């Protein structure tokens, strides 16, 4: 299975958000210039190595994330051009934060070959933005979306629920503004407080900062209703798009496609034969004969250390079923039949029956696909757990 999606990680921000546990560091001015220059040199060497080896021959989507890629300024369009020397994706996404994105950069990105931008707005309420350490305010978020749309970029807006001080009224306001800005795509995420982050330390002293799961569920349901009424279609548990505006790159992750990650902490998921083909570039030994799929995470800038995990055929199939439960389309009949062949008909049918009985999923009357229900999405851990349990023998 050839590599279909490429992810490139940029580990720099102007400031770390209070909830963020991603691999990124805050730097500005001269320190950012020096760090970014050295990092991009190493990243492009790796890009060239994979490109020369033919790894990008079938790449359909590219996603540059972080961190905050737009802190690179004019270096970002330069990087996009370097990527496009090796592949010609149909979708090329760049993540952006409002404080480092404007009309001039949007125009440069379009000229370099970017087709889509994902803007980390999180909220259109200034007090909520300050509470999570965001650098922008609501007007600059609106301006960033307008700049992206005016440049012709497909535009996604990220929103987050369960923020400190957030109410249903303020959540409704953020939805109002997002809908009025008219992006083609909106992602809605519940806030998760990760260990070791500034927000986690604050929550230890003030438990009221812990997100209320019932409130978040109400926010997610409200977002679904509002966005559906505004012409968006939900295609994944947290993702809504106008017709033709889904994120193809993210769909690759959720449908079992092979993807390659370049940069520190970037993850890859490749078929065993792909690892064998590029083993020297991963610094990896030959996978054992029972491996069907390999997960790797690059651990350092030099690409000399990787975490490597081998998934057998049963584990790979269970993961495909689990990820399919994130999608509105669910698991098609072909995937269910493959799962029965690999895992066993009795085990798979028992899991399906439990999902149906608990109201976590339903069978589509036309296609026969196993599709998550709203309850299944709200109780995602239970639904995903049912599918992943099939990995065990």
Instruction: Report the predicted TM-score, pTM, of the whole model to 2 decimal places.
Output: 0.95
Residue 335 carries which DSSP code? H
Distances (CA, A) of 328 to 76, 153, 392: 34, 25, 26
Residue 287's pLDDT is: 64
Chain center to CA of 290 = 29
CB 250 within 8 A of CB 274: no
Distances (CA, A) of 182 to 92, 150, 187, 225: 20, 11, 13, 16
Give strand pairing partners of 91: 61
Residue of 141, 77, 80, 142 whose CA lies nearest to 107: 77
Which tokens belong to 231? 């012409």
Q: Which residues of the chain have pLDDT under 70?
A: 284-289
Residue 284's pLDDT is: 63
Torsion angle defined by CA atoms of residues 68, 70, 71 and 75, in that order, rounded to the nearest 10 degrees: 130
> Please, what's the b/e burial string for 181-200 (b: 16 or more CB within 10 A of its CB; e: otherwise)?
bebbbbbbbbbebeeebebb
CB 28 within 8 A of CB 18: no
Q: Where are the alpha helices (DSSP H) in 255-379?
A: 272-277, 279-282, 313-324, 333-343, 345-357, 374-378
């Amino acid at each position: 299975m050839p590599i279909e999606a490429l992810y490139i990680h940029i580990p720099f921000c102007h400031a770390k958000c209070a909830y963020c546990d991603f691999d990124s560091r805050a730097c500005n001015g001269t320190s950012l210039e020096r760090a970014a220059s050295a990092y991009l040199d190493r990243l492009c060497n790796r890009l060239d190595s994979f490109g020369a080896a033919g790894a990008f021959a079938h790449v359909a989507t590219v996603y540059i994330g972080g961190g905050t890629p737009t802190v690179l300024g004019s270096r970002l369009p330069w990087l996009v051009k370097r990527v496009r020397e090796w592949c010609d994706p149909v979708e090329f996404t760049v993540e952006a934060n409002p404080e480092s994105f404007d009309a001039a950069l949007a125009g440069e990105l379009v000229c370099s070959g970017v087709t889509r931008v994902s803007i980390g707005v999180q909220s259109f309420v200034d007090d909520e933005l300050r509470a999570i350490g965001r650098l922008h305010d609501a007007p600059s978020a609106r301006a960033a979306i307008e700049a992206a749309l005016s440049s012709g970029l497909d535009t996604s807006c990220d929103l987050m629920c369960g923020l400190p001080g957030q109410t249903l009224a303020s959540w409704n306001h953020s939805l109002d503004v997002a809908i009025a800005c008219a992006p083609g795509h909106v992602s809605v995420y519940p806030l998760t407080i990760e260990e070791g982050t500034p927000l986690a330390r604050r929550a230890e002293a003030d438990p009221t900062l812990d997100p209320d799961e019932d409130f978040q569920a109400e926010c997610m349901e409200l977002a679904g209703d509002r966005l559906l009424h505004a012409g968006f279609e939900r295609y994944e548990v947290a993702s809504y798009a106008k017709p033709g505006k889904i994120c193809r790159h993210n769909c690759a992750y959720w449908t079992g496609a092979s993807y390659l990650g370049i940069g520190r902490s970037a993850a890859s998921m490749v078929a065993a034969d792909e690892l064998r083909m590029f083993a020297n570039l991963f610094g990896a030994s030959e996978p054992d004969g029972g491996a069907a799929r390999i997960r790797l995470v690059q651990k350092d800038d030099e690409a000399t250390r990787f975490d490597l995990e081998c998934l057998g055929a049963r584990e790979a199939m269970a993961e495909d079923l689990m990820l399919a439960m994130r999608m509105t389309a669910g698991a098609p009949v072909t995937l269910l039949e493959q799962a029965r062949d690999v895992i066993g008909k009795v085990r798979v049918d028992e899991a399906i029956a439990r999902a149906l009985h608990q109201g976590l999923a339903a069978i589509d009357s036309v296609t026969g696909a196993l599709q998550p229900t709203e309850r299944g999405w709200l109780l995602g851990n239970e639904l995903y757990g049912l599918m992943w349990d099939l990995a065990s023998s």
